[in-house]
Structure 1
Amino acid sequence: MHELSTPPLAPPAPGGLADSVYETAELSPTLVQFSRHTAGPTAAGTGTGAGPDAVGEAGSWSPVTAARFRDEVLGLAKGLLARGIRFGDRVALMSRTRYEWTLFDYALWSIGAIPVPVYPTSAAEQVRWILAETEAVACVVENEDHAMTVGAVCDALPQLTEIWQLDQDCVRALTAEGGRVPDTLVHRQRLAVTAESVATVIYTSGTTGRPKGCLLTHGNFTAEVDNVLAGWGSVFTDRPGEQPASLLFLPLAHVYARMVQVASVRGGIRLGHLAEFGADVLLPALASFQPTFLHAVPYVFEKLYDSAQRAAEDAGRGELFAQAAETAVRWARANERRALGHGTGPGPALRVRHLAYDRLVYQRLRAALGGRVRSVMCGGSTLSRELGLFFAGAGMTLYEGYGLTETTAAITANPAGRPKFGTVGRPIPGAEVAIAEDGEVWVRGGSVFGGYLNHPRCTAESLHGGWLATGDLGALDSDGYLTITGRKKELIVTSSGKNLAPAALEERVRSHPLVAQCLVVGDDRPYVAALITLDPRALEHWQQTNRRIPVDEWSALADDELHLEIQRAVAAANTAVSRAESIRAFRLLPKEFTVEQGLLTPSLKLRRKAITDWYAADIEELYSA
């Protein structure tokens, strides 16, 4: 196997994740660890109604110091003990991203209990499965809808004895109930937690079958976040002496957001929570919070780019934007070559053009994210090289990484100051990456989990002497940067015996502004075809620009000019593969794949089997012509 490793930058940490809350409060009690949104009718105090973090309007942010956070965590931990939660108990959390989730995480860790995240969009059967398998004794929900979902399956969960509702002031009620519990009882249980203790059970996205619960330890998290803080601390803010700040809008049910939460608490990063991340909510919140860096998925920046391009075209500045985009890409490419030791950087003429477009275009993009963001840690799906270059040229470097639930988020990332766009970087400090003979990516390190809950066979199939077989296909280049080329289980084999990893081809089609999603099909078929959905806002803009007035969704898709535009996107994607691997036919669908349909995972990955079953008739038509 072709192997590559990076030495660790942080020593293994003893104890549990909650320890840092009490240590920071002792050493730096006035340090602002969180900012809570104060827009809306509710105050910023703990457990007040729907919670300020659920409001996405522009407004002020109320500080939460290290001492206050410690007191709130301790008070809630005592309340949990008063209600019978004990060391090792599993407690489910079903909510959007909000401050109270973080509060419950650290309160549960303070008494050695184990949080089990559940996506708030989960169906009743999914909730039943997770709560039954983990034997959760209690469940925290955000609102009445979530309570009804859990209530619908309670009869099948005899071990579940409590349901606490955030918008019914459960934090305040539990804290009051724990008033007579001595602090020492919490500390006694907290100090019994070791690095080897299970910190959480996080379920995989389930793209290829029923989700499995990953047992992640306190040591897995500290190995991950302490090395990330040591290796990328310089990108969190570009101003000496300034406290880094980040707004968290990723779902806390996902391992990536949980890693961000833990890193912020351990690293002294001011953190805000936002329950939604649609543009109408996210942009005003970013403007008022003004983060110094962000953690995000590529989707956010795809939408930001498309919106900026449409706005420029609507204002008659489309040509200006196109020239600015080209300059940004050239600028970033020159800087990339210099950072990797292959060039001297941008020349004088390019520097002049870049400065001019910075004033005209790039500053506006940065202002949309609050004005202070210069770096973004990006993961969860593939980021196109061109998009990464564009944003780097516009003054915001996207550091793409790669990881799984099983690796406690990132196992590779582009190094600070030396990103190679289009790759997912090098092993993070303390991690190793290897490419097996069949092209599968194997990884090893302190952040790699110990196994799946109640699935010893799956654990044995995935772990081999400390190495995790990821199921992803990839390659290491001469500089040690990893590129992911597809999923091993998602290989398409045509009737002629041609093998194809569809992810890269799908990503190329999806890079067109009109395309929202693309699913390549072709197993046991004579050629490769694709199902394509369109971005509604981009389609509306295209229709207005081309003076189209569709009667309904289907009439819009029947437009010959629209088909020709998508055909160009498909043809451009086909240039990267052989004829046998190219898309020969495609079908436009009237609606995007959604989580509610069961066609996407909660982290927005395609559920291939579900989509091909749902659109079986459309696929048959692709091959019957």
Structure 2
Amino acid sequence: MHRNLPQTILDLVGDRHGLVAMRTKIDGRWQDIGWLNLARQVRRFAAGLMELGIQPGDRVAIMSPNRPEWAFADLGIMACGAVTVPIYHTEGAEAAAYILDNSGSRAVFVRTFEDLRKVESRLDQLPDLEHIILIEGTADRQPVLDLKHFLPERVDEQAVNARMAAVAREDLATIVYTSGTTGLPKGAMLTHDNILSAVEAAAETFHISTDDSCLSFLPLSHVFERIDGYYFMLIQGATINYAESIDSVPANLQEVRPTLVISVPRMFEKMYARVMERITSGPWLKKQVFFAALKACTRELHLQQQGKPVPGWLARVCGLARARIFSRLREPLGGRIRFFVSGGAPLAQNVAEFFLAAGLPIYEGYGLTETCAGIAANCEGHVRLGTVGRCFPGTEISIAEDGEILIRGRTVFQGYWQDPARTAEAIRDGWFHTGDIGTFDREGYLRITDRKKDLIITAGGENIAPQPIENSLKQDKFIANAFVFGNRKPYLVALLVPNFENLEK
């Protein structure tokens, strides 16, 4: 691909004019958004921004939960040569104002009047902000426009196409703010080439087509969902279904029956806990059958992981178990799931092992905002439990002497917005220093052991990685979260957050 991101997506319309690009629920009914409508809306949003005087290189923010208008605005911003600045809609007024001010955003899309009030309460701190575009509701007062007044009925397609054609693949596409562990948020600068390179690498790793569909519920302001659950899905032709809210995900899964789900480990941990709770509290016979089947499938999995042959009788038993017993795990998920992808945090190995043994693979991956999300992942036919898989094509990974993971390649960001000091600290000698500690096994699978800054040095000088201990504690159904600390102490201490739902049972 040699074109920019919006061109790459809109170029696909000709072959997909009869297909559904997105679906959203309105007044209790799922509504289809075809590819022709998607292209029309992107050009309308681009034209609206151009009429407001938005110029190439200007920053335009989006503060909204996942919905089609998020994508229309995002692609429209980039189509007119501007730069998208995503902001979590759950951010407080002060945090949102910092991002708007630091990025110098000239316009911002907000979903509701509540979001509007957050921005308006800090207008005196935002000298560059000229326009606020309200997605839901009616408003026509400076500096606020609703969609009715913002979107032109007639679009000068020639002008929009000319502006879009002038955007180079190497141009800045987005600034994604990431807070890290200390200090003010940093704006990671990602180009069209960064994003498209990430999509191309993912396409070589995962087979996704127009036969697939996904449910979008992780925030689009996060680079994981944005790259892999939005751009990648659109370019591959999968239908994106927007969840009504995070609370509606269980119901929406059954309604849209996706073939793919991208999520963070917490969702899979909750699924695992619910299954175990239901089985252990059920009838004795069903419990014995379930765990006997699980034991057989886990044995088969261990043999496969060790590269040893699986006896024919065991393969037949496991096939029967997955068809008759574990197939029921798919029902609450809509019944069509092919696989899950997990990222954003470490996935507990026992959870990954359970679902893989049951025939519902969770492919764990690894990436950062600064690398355009994934740079390594497990995938079909290439799974090593306890690792985040092999690195993607086009990415180089090196392990420094102190164990830190270093990355270089076309997906690595251009630096932090207006922050040369932190950019120089992060990118040295052409390598991005991730701050994560890891190792490779003999077959090239990457294992993440901890964050460099999280390593605990006890009073006795011992280096201890807290993450494995925390993950072990969180496997207890009565513990929702755990934090281990003990720097310069002769012992470790754990702060535990109870799982009140299970405790109350």
TM bin, normalised by shorter chain, reads over 0.9
Quick check: 1:492–1:500 contact (8 Å CA) kept in 2? yes
Name 1:17's counterpart in structure 2: 5
Choose the corresponding residue for 1:403, options 367, 382, 405. Answer: 367
The answer to which structure has the higher strand fraction is: 2
Quick check: 1:288–1:370 contact (8 Å CA) kept in 2? yes
Q: CA deviation at 1:450?
A: 0.9
Indicate whether 1:481 and 2:445 are aligned: yes
Name 1:451's counterpart in structure 2: 415
Q: Structure 1 residues 352 and 180, CA, compared in 2 at 3 Å: closer, same or farther?
A: closer
Q: Structure 1 residues 483 and 524, CA, compared in 2 at 3 Å: closer, same or farther?
A: same
Quick check: 1:401–1:424 contact (8 Å CA) kept in 2? yes
Q: CA deviation at 1:336?
A: 3.1
My pick for the range that moved more, 308-317 or 425-434, is: 308-317
Choose the corresponding residue for 2:215, options 241, 244, 247. Answer: 247
Q: C-alpha distance in 2, partners of 1:388/1:473?
A: 21
Q: C-alpha distance in 2, partners of 1:328/1:302?
A: 20
Q: C-alpha distance in 2, partners of 1:320/1:163?
A: 59
Q: Which amino acid aligns with 1:29?
A: H
**For 1:209-264, what per-residue CA distance to the aligned partner results, in whole angstroms no more than 9, with x for missing partners?**
3220000000000000012112211xx47xxxx61111111100100011021111
Name 1:560's counterpart in structure 2: none
**For 1:125-181, what per-residue CA distance to the aligned partner results, in whole angstroms no more than 9, with x for missing partners?**
2112111110011111111221111112111101111112221266741564x2355
Q: C-alpha distance in 2, partners of 1:326/1:472?
A: 34
Q: C-alpha distance in 2, partners of 1:396/1:172?
A: 42
Choose the corresponding residue for 1:97, options 66, 76, 82. Answer: 66
Please report the TM-score for the alignment, with normalisation by the length of structure 1. Answer: 0.76
Q: CA deviation at 1:356?
A: 4.5
Name 1:343's counterpart in structure 2: 308
Q: C-alpha distance in 1, partners of 2:351/2:403?
A: 26
Alignment of 1:203-222 (within 5 A): 203-222=177-196
Please report the TM-score for the alignment, with normalisation by the length of structure 2. Answer: 0.94
Indicate whether 1:187 and 2:164 are aligned: no
Quick check: 2:134–2:147 contact (8 Å CA) kept in 1? no
Choose the corresponding residue for 1:35, options 2, 23, 41. Answer: 23
Higher relative contact order, chain-length normalized (CA < 8 Å, sep 6+)? 1
Indicate whether 1:537 and 2:504 are aligned: no
Alignment of 1:287-302 (within 5 A): 287-302=254-269
Q: Which amino acid aligns with 1:525?
A: K
Q: CA deviation at 1:39?
A: 4.5
Q: C-alpha distance in 1, partners of 2:19/2:295?
A: 43
Q: C-alpha distance in 1, partners of 2:26/2:100?
A: 33
Quick check: 2:377–2:390 contact (8 Å CA) kept in 1? yes
My pick for the range that moved more, 184-193 or 160-169, is: 160-169
The residue matched to 1:373 in structure 2 has which SS? coil
**For 1:500-544, what per-residue CA distance to the aligned partner results, in whole angstroms no more than 9, with x for missing partners?**
121122111112222111100101212111001122222223xxx
Quick check: 1:423–1:481 contact (8 Å CA) kept in 2? yes
Q: Which amino acid aligns with 2:226?
A: R
Q: CA deviation at 1:432?
A: 0.9
Indicate whether 1:463 and 2:399 are aligned: no
Q: Which amino acid aligns with 1:15?
A: R
Quick check: 2:21–2:238 contact (8 Å CA) kept in 1? yes
Quick check: 2:386–2:447 contact (8 Å CA) kept in 1? yes
Choose the corresponding residue for 1:303, options 270, 276, 291. Answer: 270
Q: C-alpha distance in 2, partners of 1:367/1:180?
A: 46
Indicate whether 1:121 and 2:86 are aligned: no
Q: Which amino acid aligns with 2:260?
A: F
Quick check: 1:76–1:174 contact (8 Å CA) kept in 2? no
Name 1:88's counterpart in structure 2: 57
Q: C-alpha distance in 1, partners of 2:287/2:397?
A: 43
Quick check: 1:200–1:217 contact (8 Å CA) kept in 2? yes
My pick for the range that moved more, 324-333 or 86-95, is: 324-333
Q: Which amino acid aligns with 2:308?
A: G
Q: Structure 1 residues 271 and 87, CA, compared in 2 at 3 Å: closer, same or farther?
A: same
Q: CA deviation at 1:62?
A: 2.4
The residue matched to 1:92 in structure 2 has which SS? strand
The residue matched to 2:384 in structure 1 has which SS? coil
**For 1:54-102, what per-residue CA distance to the aligned partner results, in whole angstroms no more than 9, with x for missing partners?**
xxxxxx5322221111011111211121222222111111111111111
Q: Which amino acid aligns with 2:202?
A: V
Superposition RMSD in Å: 1.8
The residue matched to 1:18 in structure 2 has which SS? helix
Q: Which amino acid aligns with 1:313?
A: T
Quick check: 2:25–2:244 contact (8 Å CA) kept in 1? no
